[in-house]
Structure 1
Amino acid sequence: MAVSPGFKADLIAAIPSLRAFAVSLSQNADKADDLVQETLVKAWDKHQSFQMGTNMKAWLFTILRNEFYSQMRKRGREVQDTDGAMTARLAVHPSQQGKLDLQDFRGALEQLPEDQREAIILIGASGFSYEEAAEICGCAVGTIKSRVSRARTRLQDILKVSGEAEYGPDAISAQVMGSSVVA
């Protein structure tokens, strides 16, 4: 069932009031924005249950209020870890190395010729097939395959990567994570 233009307009017009109400409930702008977003999603999903001609603002405020209290109840059921015992058992792979690796990769990507960079991004990052990438670039499938192959080889050279063993956690990170795989 399609959503009526009047419903859309009324929904959009109610957003500032919803946000103000959400801020007053949550006392936090970010949480308020999340509440408003969840309210709009639920209202959109249940638009067929709304009776046109009734008070949409009241309907939306009720959805928002119910969502707020549902989230509060959910938080009450969350595990408390005041002494930090549970947190101490958690191991997290340090993010610093990953950020540096990403920085290096971006720099290497910028060193590629434009046609190779475009091809590797379409295939590797955007998930397009070779046929789709060829259509986007306006060239033959073999040309895309060649560009991707040359881009991969050039990236390996720039980043000084010789094989798959150089991806993933290093020896220290593997020990922290409890992994038996050591590069």
Structure 2
Amino acid sequence: MEELNLIEKAKQGNKGALNTLFVENYPILKGYIIKMTGNPDLSQDIVQETLLKAAMNIKKFNPKAKFSTWLITIGTNVYRDMLRKNKQVIPIDDAMIAEGNSVEDEVISKIEYKEILNILQKMSYEKRSVFILKHYYSYKYEEIAEILGCPIGTVRSRLHNCIRDIIRELERRGII
């Protein structure tokens, strides 16, 4: 309920409410973008552009989903646009592991975590984004489909193929 109140105030021009929304959702957005790009410096640029776009378009936000979902959607689009413009995939940066101070770091060993991130970085952003949204952020298939602008069947297919490819690569590397 508090988030809806902040959103309404932000839509009315309350900068403090907008700032609170950004501060509360920044860790989720930053973690997602770091996992997508594998590069903390590039991630910071994407996060800043995402927040700028969100601030400029706050009046268009329809709170049928969480504010963090909206930010992740914008961030995904900013990253997608960057990939289209640059026609390149940014290699994973080892510094990313140091920045990923979250629960998954405690659950998954550093080696497995790093291996999975390395494998993910070699996949298309479509597969990578579905995997990260589902397994790191526990979004439902419907929410992922909305964020990425694709059918639920496509989300399921991408996730299935991504997991299959990760398992094959981990087996090839002798990790599992």
The interval holding the TM-score normalised by the smaller chain is 0.3 to 0.5
Q: Whose helix fraction is larger, Structure 1's or Structure 2's?
A: 2
| TM-score of the superposed pair, with normalisation by structure 1 | 0.39
